[in-house]
Structure 1
Amino acid sequence: MDHRAELELPRKPHLNHAFTGGLASAQAAGESRETIGVHPAGGERPVHLSFVIPVKDEEATLVELYERIADEVPEASEFEVIFIDDGSRDQSWQVIRSLAVREPSRVRGLRFRHNVGKASALTAGFRAARGGVVFTMDADLQDDPKEIRRFLAKLEEGYDLVSGWKKVRHDPWHKVLPSRVFNLMLSRVSRVHLHDHNCGFKCYRAEVLRGMTLHGELHRMVPALAAVEGFRSAEIVVQHHPRRHGVSKYGFERYIRGLMDMVTVGFLRKYRERPSHFIGAVSAACAAAAGLLLAAAAVLALARLPLAAGVSVLCGAVMLGTAIVGAFCGLLAEMSIRGGLANHWRLPIVEDTGRDLPPTKGQQPRVSPVPVSYRFRSTDIPANPVPTP
């Protein structure tokens, strides 16, 4: 007997759709292992808020996380939760499919064929999101959905992106200390001064994410990438809860990879639209060095120093070749940008509940609306939390 078919989720009275069959119904609806791409799920009303949540071996937290989000979404706001299973080895995908059966208009699941990384998982979620406002959260319940209203209130002050700041972290020192150093360096390089670039709890206007493709460790640098496009960022203090289930999926090596991507961000901040200017400057310097070396070779030859002259000619030839190759690289970079080659990044999505599960009778696909305005009474918005260690 397939143990996955016995998976059932608890009922919750306030939810709009009854759970009718768990994983067995999800499987009966038809599983496709060849589904590639994203497709809008069915629904009758437009989506205001999208929650994009990467998942890696978090089966114990997903149901509770969804229900806590549903409890905290502002009244009269339609929402969707997009779970991206990044190669989980536990029953995370079975839980996601069961939630998608139970809440077909609010839950969508994407499953990667293998583990690709958080950046690619977020990219898939951004492409699938239909809301005018998009949240990103971790799936481990360390981010508190009660902060949702405070994020929206800050967004209403005119910002395009609001990032969380885990001022008090319930993590070991060997994670906290490197994170603080990394945040300080990234703030200096990007000139986006946030205390916690690493925080996964963020809120965006949909236009910030339109066309954004992340890879490597660039998911930590979305505020910096958004600043390159002219978007405004803000930061609020958020509660950070201790992990109750599972273990952290990240080690110290992520900061090594992050340093390389930080160089990318620094380059994009200055030369995103004109990479040939940077490469051209390097090529010009190499060409100038080649000219000096060849001139020195001529002087050395006249001075009857053939060995030194030969070395200078060789070094000058190398520098001249470097200048020529650099010039061609600059042209290729310009052609790459003009041709939009970066938009052809393919994600290894193997299953998509938005396509696998047929829409309810009478439902039509929805499109993203103009972001709604969120106005709250002062009593509706929790005060800034003062976390206690």
Structure 2
Amino acid sequence: MLSIVVPCFNEEESLPYFVKEVEDVGKSISHSIEYIFVNDGSKDDTLKSLRELHKKMPDRVRYISFSRNFGKESALYAGLQAARGDLITLMDADLQDPPELLPQMIERIETSDIDCVGTRRQDRKGEPAIRSFFARLFYKLVNKFGDTEMIDGARDFRLMTRPMVDSILSMTEYNRFSKGIFSWVGFNTEYISYENRERVAGDSSWSFWSLFKYSIDGIVNFSDAPLTLAALIGSISCIAAVIALIFIVFRALLFGDPTSGWPSLASIVLFVGGLQLLFLGIIGKYIGKIFLETKKRPIYIVKETEKDLEKER
């Protein structure tokens, strides 16, 4: 069985196109297909569409509806937990993940000694220049300072074997960053490149600010480099302060103590104060992550599944 996990946030318009495309591709696949849709607190009629899909294909369409928006990471985790297939794939409902790659991905796994076939974009055509710049910068930073390699342009769209999925599910942390987790668990992985595609319908829920916060979480979750950098710059600042103090003392002894120079002094004080606030923010980010982990809150809360719909009949 092939399990297709699909996180959904306001995907009412995209769902009919997505199911049609996958069903067409499914005719060339020998595996039976099950869909696991995860409604991540959508504000439109996504849940209504999922109910209708389950009524049409009760044996193949399953859904999980959260009590509110918990984020894509939680939706992916819930979908992987519910998946029953021997092969599991993650896909977005907007068809930016080409379903026609599935037969090729299945063949690669079944004919070679690999556990995962991932996908990556050949380029970032159609993406705003500022977003592309920061995306490339993120991958350079996280690969330079982190212990886990992340592939530039890699999508969540990937086909995995059951052992790899079980390993991912064994990582129950609250602060999740799937791209890092996929790499951290290991297993043999190959990548297929494809040209970037636009959404088939609707608007993306990922703003620049949400992507920026997501990238910061990725760096913090899989690297302590920001803390090391803060300690390094702090040490350099202390050494520079001692040197400056010695210089000021000797200058006062040799040439007196003029009152001029207060603008430069104020600038230095503001600069050092700014560094201190920056480093406190970095440390606070890590402490915040620890705080959330120690609360042991659930990663998500389910409000409704297809079983609840069946009980109402």
TM-score normalized with structure 2 length: 0.69
**Per-residue Cα deviation, 1:314-342 (whole angstroms, up to 9, x for no partner):** xxxxxxxxxxxxxxxxxxx9xxxxxxx99
Pick the aligned partner of 1:221 from 180, 184, 188: 180
Aligned to 2:215: 258
- 3-state SS in 1 of match to 2:179: helix
Aligned residue pairs total 242
* 2:149 is the counterpart of 1:192: yes
Structure-2 separation of matches of 1:150 and 1:195 = 22
Pick the aligned partner of 1:164 from 119, 143, 146: 119
Aligned to 1:174: 130
Q: Which runs of 5+ in 2 are unaligned?
A: 225-289
Q: Give the 3 Å change call, closer, same or farther, for CA 162–181 of structure 1 in structure 2.
A: farther
Structure-2 separation of matches of 1:111 and 1:238 = 31
Higher helix share: 2
Aligned to 2:36: 82
Aligned to 2:286: none
Identify which of structures 1 and 2 has the higher relative contact order when contacts are C-alpha pairs closer than 8 Å and 6+ apart: 1
Q: Give the 3 Å change call, closer, same or farther, for CA 166–120 of structure 1 in structure 2.
A: same
Q: Which runs of 5+ in 1 are unaligned?
A: 1-47, 268-332, 334-340, 361-389
Give how far 1:123 is off: 0.7
Structure-2 separation of matches of 1:196 and 1:120 = 22
**Per-residue Cα deviation, 1:46-69 (whole angstroms, up to 9, x for no partner):** xx1111111111111102211211
Give how far 1:259 is off: 2.5
Pick the aligned partner of 2:95 from 141, 157, 160: 141
* 2:124 is the counterpart of 1:124: no
Pick the aligned partner of 2:60 from 106, 109, 112: 106
Give how far 1:214 is off: 6.2
Corresponding letter in the other structure for 1:133: L
Q: Is the 8 A contact 1:123 1:214 kept in 2?
A: no
Structure-2 separation of matches of 1:193 and 1:86 = 26
Aligned to 1:72: 25
Identical columns (%): 25
Q: Give the 3 Å change call, closer, same or farther, for CA 214–119 of structure 1 in structure 2.
A: farther
TM-score normalized with structure 1 length: 0.56
Q: Is the 8 A contact 1:147 1:238 kept in 2?
A: no
**Per-residue Cα deviation, 1:243-268 (whole angstroms, up to 9, x for no partner):** 2422111123333343233232236x
- 3-state SS in 2 of match to 1:201: strand
Q: Is the 8 A contact 1:171 1:242 kept in 2?
A: no
Question: Over the residues paired in the alignment, what is the CA RMSD in angstroms?
Answer: 3.1
Structure-1 separation of matches of 2:97 and 2:295 = 32
* 2:13 is the counterpart of 1:60: yes
- 3-state SS in 1 of match to 2:96: coil
- 3-state SS in 2 of match to 1:235: strand
Corresponding letter in the other structure for 1:94: K
Give how far 1:88 is off: 0.7
Give how far 1:346 is off: 4.7
Q: Is the 8 A contact 1:144 1:239 kept in 2?
A: no
Structure-2 separation of matches of 1:155 and 1:71 = 21
Q: Is the 8 A contact 2:74 2:299 kept in 1?
A: no
Aligned to 1:206: 162
Structure-2 separation of matches of 1:152 and 1:215 = 31
- 3-state SS in 2 of match to 1:104: coil
Q: Give the 3 Å change call, closer, same or farther, for CA 218–232 of structure 1 in structure 2.
A: same
Structure-2 separation of matches of 1:120 and 1:159 = 26
Give how far 1:216 is off: 4.5
- 3-state SS in 2 of match to 1:357: helix
**Per-residue Cα deviation, 1:20-54 (whole angstroms, up to 9, x for no partner):** xxxxxxxxxxxxxxxxxxxxxxxxxxxx1111111
- 3-state SS in 1 of match to 2:205: coil
Give how far 1:149 is off: 1.4
Q: Is the 8 A contact 1:165 1:237 kept in 2?
A: yes
Structure-2 separation of matches of 1:342 and 1:129 = 27
Corresponding letter in the other structure for 1:357: E
